[in-house]
Structure 1
Amino acid sequence: MRTPSQFFDLLKEKTGSDYKTAKQLKLSSGAIAQIRSRELMSDETAIKIADYLGLDRAELLIAAAMARSDGETKEAWTAAARRMGIAASVLLSAKILTPSISGAIVCILC
């Protein structure tokens, strides 16, 4: 699962700048700077990003909720992501899965 700022990196690649991204999403440049620095975004912003990038809204909503959560709540969001089939990307971004010498992905917890 990507972080909020990683989604903004994708947007920046598509629009050319954070300023243009802000205009497309009808956000202030300051709002984007705050999202990037705090790694937090609202559900409404997550939906705007998903629609603009053509991604599944659920993926962005879960990423936003996970970024705002901790403890048991974050674990519940991780379980929901796993059920949706995006667990590998969540674990890769959390550095829990890592490529082995042979190139296969292995869990460092196993």
Structure 2
Amino acid sequence: MKTVIDYINDLKEKTGSDYKTAKLLKIDKASLSVIRSKGRMADETAIKVAEALGVDETEVLIAAAVARSDGKVLSAWLKISKAVGAAASFLLAIQILSPIATYTKCILC
């Protein structure tokens, strides 16, 4: 599972600098530094990061929630993360196999 900092680094790679990343997220550079140092971000920022990267908001929101959690809450978020990951993998497999299924006849047909 990717961390908040991983997503920020991905966004920095895309924008070219922390300054441009902060500007894109509509936060100041000091706030971006706090995100990097603490490894935590607000849900609103997580959504902006997901949109900027073109990734599912759910995965960035879960990373943000995991970073803010501990104990039983952390365990619950990690379970959710695994479940979402498994569901996403299943849906991806269906999308990949759909064209194959279109050209294949069922043995009962």
TM superposition score category, shorter chain reference? 0.7 to 0.9
- Flag structure 1 segments of 5+ consecutive residues without an equivalent: 87-110
Question: What is the correspondence of 1:15-26 to structure 2 with a 5 Å cutoff?
Answer: 15-26=15-26
Aligned counterpart, 1:4 = 4
Q: Counting helix residues as a fraction of each chain, which structure ranks higher?
A: 2
- Flag structure 2 segments of 5+ consecutive residues without an equivalent: 87-109
Aligned counterpart, 1:93 = none
- What is the identity, as a one-letter code, of the residue corresponding to 1:72? K
Q: What TM-score, normalized by structure 1, do the two folds share?
A: 0.76
- What is the identity, as a one-letter code, of the residue corresponding to 2:30? G
Aligned counterpart, 1:74 = 74
- The size of the alignment, in residue pairs, is 86
Aligned-pair Cα RMSD in Å? 0.8
Shift of 1:34: 0.2
Shift of 1:82: 1.1
Identity, in percent, stands at 52
Aligned counterpart, 1:40 = 40
String of CA shifts for 1:43-94, please: whole Å, max 9, x gaps. Answer: 00000000000000000000000000001000000111111126xxxxxxxx
Aligned counterpart, 2:91 = none
Q: Residue 40 of structure 1 aligns to a residue in which SS? A: coil
Q: What TM-score, normalized by structure 2, do the two folds share?
A: 0.77
Q: Which runs of 4+ in 1 moved over 3 A?
A: none
Shift of 1:4: 1.1
The structure with the largest alpha-carbon Rg is 2
